Amino acid sequence: MNWTRLCAPVFALVLLASGCGGGSDSAELEALREEIAALKAPTTTVAPTTTDERLSSVEQAWIDLKTAEIGDGPYGLGQEAVSCALATLVEENGLDEARYQFDRDLPTREFARSLSSAFLGCVDATKLISTLFFEDPDLEDLPIEFLDCIMKLVLEGDVVTDLFVMGIMEDPDSEVDRIMEPLLPELLVCMGESLSAEEIADLLPTTKTNEDEAGSTDDPQRWPAKIVFGFVPSQEQEQLQDNIKPLMDVLEAALGIEVEGIVTTDYTGLVTAMGTGQADLGAFGPFGYVLAQQQFENMEVLIQAVRYGSATYHGQWMTNDPSICDSPPQPGTALENKYGDIVQVGAVEAVALQVGIYFGNSGKVLGETVDAGPVSPGMSCTADLSKIRGKRVAFTSESSTSGYIFPALQLIQAGINPGTDIVPIFSGGHDASVAAVYNGSADIGVAYDDARRSIRKSEADVGEKVVVFNITSEIPNDVVVVSSLLPDSLQTAVYNAIYGYLMTDEGEAVFDEMYGWTNIRRAVESDFDVVRQAAAALGITEP
């Protein structure tokens, strides 16, 4: 986790101001800047970390190490503030949880809030916000009264904490509106105490006229009347078609245009649909996207899935024969990539939501119950891949990243030919691979972690009968790809609509059923280089 994310969202506090006009007394602003500089001076010196008697020597050693890595922290607030925040985190969450969360791409939202609260409890929030406001050259022309009102309002309640969490979790900029919009009426009242109606009107963002926007390719009026959103089944095709309908309805309402959702039979069908312009958006696995982009040049990555704070995932190897395990399988456990090795962890600690786990009022809880009865907690063990020679192995499809590409690369690296040293079976979906191992039509199966949940409602003992014994290296999460012909404003509107829906209870349930997403972020093209390297190693150039 990158510490500098913590204070990045505070800049969101000035977004409302950045589009405004108006003037200010430069001499008064300069005096304020000098006052702020004087306030900051004592905290810019590096303070030695202090020992907290409530912490163990191991905890203090980790805090000292992490403090040294972070340095003075955001805005040179000093190592003492950093050490204080880390000590609070460890005291409230425990050392193991703190280490685990800091090692992740994104922490859980609960930990992000704990981190934000710990940091704000160790610094002078008023001084921090003042620094941001009055040392930002973009705000030089704004009246002091306007900035003072914003400062007063954001320092009340949980606004600053909410913005910090937004930055840590890499939420979209549209979240600023949700956090800040409730303050607008109070902001207008506050400004009305010291500014005239004309001055307030001058501060409000101006809106372009129709004449100004005429001819703009990003004008919503020039959006297509209809777009098509394509999906590849990770479960039974008919079920996925039903699951995507609520999302299509939400997108139609948010965009004001028709949105059709289609489910293709496989990755190749979706690649063809995107490449030939029959689909405008597509939900791809990372490998499918990489190959599609190589084959066609009319698409780009827009959204990357985040699952329980992680932007990566891995494939899992499953068996119905626990005798291949190096030691007896343990219930309520899972496998994770940590410290360059595969380690067994508690199912609640795993990044992906494991079979038998559900979300209670205070987070993940073991002991899920469905209509078919109590769900067996997932079993895991460790076993070498050499033990699968000669066995029937259920892959998903040849273009699936976690269901074939990375597992096949693992086999090659282990000296096992995935075409001749095993009996490959292509089931057509992740749930189908789990089912093949469950019902005995395959000895071994591969799918994403933890695809066993996909059949738990009908087969509540799947976690007991299907044992995870190995995992692949980390893979970038799946993506939504967009046609490069769609206007940027429409792409942004799609992103914001999906994010907003995912933050609702209904949206969370729909995405959990579809693909297990818990959040999204803007995709970064370079993150998929590892997938390109895997494709090159396997000699695969087309889906």
Residue 382: per-residue pLDDT = 96
Could you tell me which residue, 402 or 191, shows the higher pLDDT?
402
Other C-beta atoms within 10 Å of 43: how many?
18
Tell me phi and psi for residue 229, to 5 degrees: -110, 115
The DSSP call for residue 214 is T
CA 130 to chain centre: 31
- Mark out the alpha helices in 121-173 (DSSP H runs): 125-134, 144-154, 159-168
Could you tell me which residue, 298 or 206, shows the higher pLDDT?
298
Cis amide linkage into residue 450, ω under 30° from 0:
yes
Across 208-224, average pLDDT: 54
Mean pLDDT of the chain: 78
| Residue 185: pLDDT band with limits 50, 70, 90 | low
Per-residue burial over 501-529, b if 16 or more Cβ lie within 10 Å, else e, is: bbeeeebbebbbbbbbbbbbbebeeebbe
CA 276 to chain centre: 30
Which run of H or of E encompasses 92? Answer: helix 79-93
Tokens 């600690």 sit on residue: 349
Residue 12: per-residue pLDDT = 41
Check: CB of residue 365 under 8 Å from CB of residue 359: yes
Check: CB of residue 102 under 8 Å from CB of residue 69: no
| Residue 35: pLDDT band with limits 50, 70, 90 | very low
Residue 56: per-residue pLDDT = 79
Q: Left (φ > 0), alpha (ψ -120 to 50) or beta: where does 398 sit?
A: alpha
Write down the CATH number for the domain with range 224-310+477-538: 3.40.190.10
Residue 469: per-residue pLDDT = 97
* pLDDT tens digits, one per residue of 498-539: 988 888 888 888 888 777 788 888 888 888 888 888 888 888
Across 371-386, average pLDDT: 94
Domains 224-310+477-538 and 314-475 share a fold: yes
Examine the pLDDT at 179 and tell me if it is beyond 50. Answer: yes
Residue 177: per-residue pLDDT = 61
Check: CB of residue 169 under 8 Å from CB of residue 8: no
Tokens 């304020």 sit on residue: 32
Residue 40: per-residue pLDDT = 41
Could you tell me which residue, 19 or 235, shows the higher pLDDT?
235
Helix (H, G, I), strand (E, B) or coil at 315: strand
* pLDDT tens digits, one per residue of 110-156: 777 788 788 778 877 776 666 666 565 655 666 777 777 777 776 66
| Residue 331: pLDDT band with limits 50, 70, 90 | very high
The DSSP code sequence of 369-380 is: EETTEEPPPPEE
CA distance 304 to 491: 14
Residue 161: per-residue pLDDT = 75
Write down the CATH number for the domain with range 314-475: 3.40.190.10
Examine the pLDDT at 323 and tell me if it is beyond 60. Answer: yes
Examine the pLDDT at 258 and tell me if it is beyond 90. Answer: yes
Question: In whole angstroms, how far apart are CA 504 and each of 107, 180, 228, 513?
Answer: 20, 18, 23, 14
Question: In whole angstroms, how far apart are CA 278 and each of 231, 264, 386?
Answer: 13, 12, 44
Residue 178: per-residue pLDDT = 62
Domain residue extents for the chain: 3-203, 224-310+477-538, 314-475
Across 229-243, 347-361, 502-516, which has the greatest mean pLDDT? Answer: 347-361
**Sequence letter at residue 462:** V
Whole-structure pTM value: 0.56
Residue 523: per-residue pLDDT = 86
The C-alpha angle with vertex 314 and arms to 308 and 320, in degrees rounded to 5, equals 110
| Residue 79: pLDDT band with limits 50, 70, 90 | confident
Tokens 């289609």 sit on residue: 262
Q: What percent of the chain has pLDDT over 70?
A: 73
Could you tell me which residue, 108 or 536, shows the higher pLDDT?
536
Mean pLDDT lowest among 174-183, 284-293, 302-311, 465-474: 174-183
CA distance 393 to 443: 6
Could you tell me which residue, 193 or 484, shows the higher pLDDT?
484
CA distance 6 to 74: 8
The C-alpha angle with vertex 107 and arms to 123 and 402, in degrees rounded to 5, equals 160
* pLDDT tens digits, one per residue of 36-62: 444 444 443 333 344 455 677 888 888
Check: CB of residue 366 under 8 Å from CB of residue 332: yes
- Given CA atoms 306, 308, 312, 316 in this order, what sign does their dihedral have? negative
CA distance 452 to 77: 47
Tell me phi and psi for residue 325, to 5 degrees: -70, 145
Could you tell me which residue, 122 or 456, shows the higher pLDDT?
456
| Residue 72: pLDDT band with limits 50, 70, 90 | low
What's the chain's Rg over C-alpha atoms? 26
CA distance 338 to 344: 9
Tokens 């979790």 sit on residue: 169
The DSSP call for residue 402 is I
| Residue 234: pLDDT band with limits 50, 70, 90 | low
Examine the pLDDT at 253 and tell me if it is beyond 70. Answer: yes
Q: Left (φ > 0), alpha (ψ -120 to 50) or beta: where does 356 sit?
A: left
* pLDDT tens digits, one per residue of 289-319: 888 888 888 899 999 998 877 888 899 999 9
Q: What percent of the chain has pLDDT over 90?
A: 31
* Strand ranges in 245-381 using DSSP code E only, listed in sequence order: 258-263, 281-284, 299-306, 312-313, 315-319, 330-331, 333-338, 341-346, 357-360, 363-366, 369-370, 373-374, 379-380
Neighbouring residues of 190: CB distance < 8 A, sequence distance ≥ 6? 149, 152, 153
Check: CB of residue 396 under 8 Å from CB of residue 430: yes
Residue 237: per-residue pLDDT = 53
Examine the pLDDT at 496 and tell me if it is beyond 50. Answer: yes
Which run of H or of E encompasses 226? Answer: strand 226-231
**CA nearest neighbour of 16 among 170, 171, 197, 200:** 200
